[in-house]
Amino acid sequence: MDKMIKLIKNADLYTPEHIGLRDILIAGDKIARIAEDIEGFEGLSDVDVFDAMGMAVAPGLIDIHVHVTGGGGEQGPASRTPEIQLSELTTNGVTTCVGLLGTDGVTRSLPNLLAKVKALNEEGMTCYMLTGSYQYPSQTITGSVISDIALIDEIIGVKVAVSDHRASNLSREELIRLASDARMGGLISGKAGILCMHMGSGEKMLDDVFYALENTEIPIKTFLPTHMGRNIPLVSSGMKLVEMGGHIDITASDPAISDKPASEMVAYCLKNGASDDSITLSSDGMGSMPRFDDKGVCIGLDYTSPKVLLIELKNCVFKEGIPLERALKFLTVNSARVIGKEGVKGQLVPGADADLIVLDENLDIVHVMARGRHAVHRGEALIKGRFEK
């Protein structure tokens, strides 16, 4: 069993701000103290001491877009992707995620999603979820979006699809109503109350969001458009949202599937004046990735993995020249802010949850701690889901 008190020595600490060598004292699942040299605990039988040996120690990654019960289904039942396992998240540095439904809101249900989210929490990480799916009116568990967010602890917002041929083509007024419900549910429960919008490649892009912002009092941070790196026109419309004080989420890319790294879109945003506080990266984990020929016929189907977050972190640092402390923000503190967990998740500060990763010079995972427990060491999962081999 993990000991309740843990001391990490000689950590090159990224909070995600880079503050240099520090020791980290962990009590239970919380960070208790950070200092240059914490003494008096080594050698005690009930204290677990881990020497980071000067390696980078950063907050555990937050993946705000994961199809934890599987996604896909657009090519029939056999194209449904599998559920995710705990170790596929933790071995890739993810200690917190947000589960959601995708295209298929018929054979994939919200009660099943809630059960999976609860299971991941029981197994050792932190997982939240969104109600709804691509379709409108939104599927719910309690009968309304407001009640789902207000009454079910794990639910922090709602999802819908816009500007996409698979969407329900909701009107501007329906989008306003859905955002208003997300906002009210968040107010009642003290949660983020976000409206996560799957963004397709349609010509309207964010037009309806701008209409809502111009004609209502809904706060801009209620709206979270995702998959914003599809193309330059879409990300450019996102830049307008950022300039107004909003956030955009860019989907990380797998080089085995996509030839255009999401890190290039991140760099494009930064070079064109976007604040590095306004961007998040997520994996779309277990989401289907169909491949089409030049006639538009599907010739293959893959699905993505949370591993793309580490791939894009490396791309940001080694290819785009973004400093590590800046690149980490897209996967930690910014994501925590979006889901209403700033100060609890995504930062290594006293009082925050003890979620952290240890990275070598190549930014490969050496060690992962989730909620104060040793979860991964040198690629080996130390805690697994109940039915993992």
Token match 């004080």: residue? 245
Q: What are phi and psi of 86, to 5 degrees?
A: -50, -45
Per the annotation, the verdict on 284 as an active-site residue is yes
**Cis peptide leading into residue 77 (ω within 30°):** no
Pairing of strands 365-370, 356-359: antiparallel
**How far is 246 from 27, CA to CA, in rounded Å?**
36
- Please state at what angle helix 307-314 crosses helix 262-271, rounded to 10 degrees: 50
Catalytic residue among 63, 164, 284, 355: 284
Q: What are phi and psi of 341, to 5 degrees?
A: -125, 25
Residue 204 near residue 166, CB atoms below 8 Å? no
Pair of tokens at residue 157: 């917002």
Q: Which residues neighbour 388 within 8 Å (Cβ) at sequence distance 6 or greater?
A: 85, 86, 87, 381
Dihedral sign for Cα atoms in the order 243, 244, 247, 248: negative
Per-position b or e across 139-152, b if 16+ CB within 10 A of its CB: bbbeebbbbbbbeb
To the nearest 10°, report the CA torsion of 69, 74, 76, 81.
Answer: -30
The catalytic residue positions are 284
